[in-house]
Structure formats: structure tokens, C-alpha cells
Amino acid sequence: MATKLEYIWLDGYKPTQSLRSKTKIVKSFSGKVEDLDNWSFDGSSTEQAPGGSSDCILKPVFTVPDPQRKDAYLVMCEVLDSTGAPHESNGRALIQDDDNDFWFGFEQEYFLWDPATNKPLGFPAGGYPGPQGPYYCSVGANNAYGREIVEEHLDACLEAGLNVEGINAEVAAGQWEFQIFAKGAKEAGDQIWVARYLLERIGEKFGVAVNWHCKPLGQLDWNGSGMHANFSNTTLRTANSKATFEAICEAFRPAVAECIAVYGADNDQRLTGKHETASIHDFSYGVSDRGASIRIPLYAVEHNWSGYLEDRRPNSAADPYKVAAVIIKTVKTAKV
């Protein structure tokens, strides 16, 4: 029986990459990523190659059943150049976590966006809804907008086998969040990208776009969208030491510019020191502090200073591969 393979990759657009995909039909497939062949695409149409030498290579790295197509799989791919080396747009290749010691939980926020009004769902065409407050974790048609899309997306992710750990309506009208956790930085990124892909595809059916921009409503009094990165390694999980946690947090202080460079475009619009963010110009950390750059969860304190940290600076449009790569690099510099 023929099988549909949807090869998914990230293009070369800057400063924010987009998802691309195309379908390959094969006679049979085992369901194992190691049995998938490399494929190619026209990089000159995705800002990844010149027209005179346009072939780029798709290397399958992660696959799950496609919950919305018959006899089909979703295939997340890395992009290689024509020599077989990782393309410069390939953030996954930057991750130094071959032993999967780093665990990541990403909190992916986004807006469901009405193309007709160019505003989030729940925003009237001629103005604005009531101020934020009632929308967070809301129930009811007056405050929750687009739940049918969100629920279909959740079911699709779970059917695919993605490790979604929860969803909720967020602080602004039309804003939602899902959370994904994985043991291993590369797989955490793979799962976020496949979940983003499924959300985009479901939105097509409803005629609703997904706005990943971190501050799509500008500097009006509405929260922006983040992709908070919860992370740990063996050192954090078994620390039993406040000093170890503080040393790892301090390792991020000299790396602020390097981190912000990959934490998503236009983050200066979101990291203002307001709306549960730290200023992009500062660096801070604190226990249970959602206004800090890095939050030390109460969980860690209550477990004798063992557990994880949350970097609250990555924004909703950031590449989770690049976010994970810089966090891992920085943690490894800590003097513990």
C-alpha cells in the first residue's frame, strides 16, 4: 500500500524562518526514520541557494504518523547543502547534546489571527475587546476564541505521538499556548516544529492564520507571545545545591547578547520589563520571579535545589533548535 511522506523543513528567510513541506509517495514504509531516504528541493525558491546551483538536501531526522491523512507520516528534516554539510540555516546541527543529557520543555504561545480583519480572533473589526484579564485560562464564548482549532490541534498532536503536556488560553484575547517536553534537545525542537506545522495546517481548514510574532499588537496594553524554555541536565536535576543553581544562572550573564541574537526577532518589543517580562537591557534571575530573565522554579527550591530552570526570554517565533543550542553551550561554561 502506498504511503504519503510529508517532508518538512525550515527555509532560509531572515530574520524568521518559515516552514516548508512537500509530499513524497513510497510503496511502503516501516515507520522508522532510519529507513527514510534523503530528498532534495529547489533552494533558490526558499532563500537557501542561488538559481545556478539550487539543489539542497533534506535529511530526515524525526518522523511520526500523520494523524490527518490516510496512510501517511510527517517527516521533520534537516537541510544540507549540495556537499552534504549542514546548511547555514540548519539550527538543529548546532545542538551539542548527543547523549540527550539536556531535557527541554517549551511553552509555545501564539495568536489565532483573522486574515479578514488582520486582528486576533475575538477582536471586533472596528476596535478592541475589553482589557486583558478575563481571557487567561478562560471558559465561555465571551472570552475564549478559537477553541475548536485548539482542541483539534491537541488531538492531532497526541494522535501523532507528540509529548504535549498541556494547553491553555493565554492572557490576551485570541492567544493560546501549548507545552511540549522531551528528553533530548534535538527531539524537543523536532516536536515543537511538527506541532507548529500541524497547527498551521489545521488553521488552513478554518481560514484562520497563526501569528507567531512576539508582539503582533505593538505597544498596546496586551501581552506578547513567548516560548519559555524550561531546561535541565544531570547537574541541575541532581544538584542539591543553591550555589550550583546560581552559578549556572550567572553563566548566562556574559552571554546575554549571544542568547538574545537567537531568541527571536523583534524581542525588544516584547522584553520591556512589563507584561511579565524582564527588560532586554537587563539580566536577572530569581525564585518564582516571572519578571526575571531566568526564573528559578519553586519546584527546585522545594526539592533541595534540584530540578530545572526557565529562561523566559525566547519569544514565540524563535527557532527551538537555536534556543536549545545556545542554552546548552552556556550551561556548559558554568563553573560548578
For the chain, what is the domain count? 2
Residues 18 and 157 in one domain: no
Question: What confidence tier does 28 reach under pLDDT thresholds 50, 70, 90?
Answer: very high
The mean pLDDT value for 41-70 works out to: 95
Look at residue 125 in the predicted model and tell me its pLDDT: 85
136 and 40 inside one domain: no
Same domain, 279 and 157: yes
Is 97 domain-assigned?
Answer: no
Question: What pLDDT band is residue 1 in, cutting at 50, 70 and 90?
Answer: confident
Q: Are residues 219 and 74 in the same domain?
A: no
Residues 217 and 254 in one domain: yes
- Last residue of one domain, picked from the residues 56, 90, 124: 90
User: What pLDDT score does 126 carry?
Assistant: 83
pLDDT tens-digit map of 194-237: 999 999 999 999 999 999 999 999 878 888 999 999 999 999 99
Which residue, of 69, 90, 111, is where some domain finishes? 90
pLDDT at 53: 82
At 250-279, the pLDDT tens digits run 999 999 999 999 999 999 999 998 878 899
Within this chain, do residues 300 and 220 fall inside the same structural domain, yes or no?
yes
The model scores a pTM over 0.95: yes
Identity of residue 29: F
- Domain region containing 67: 3-90
- Same domain, yes or no: 59 and 172: no
Does residue 98 belong to any structural domain of this protein? no
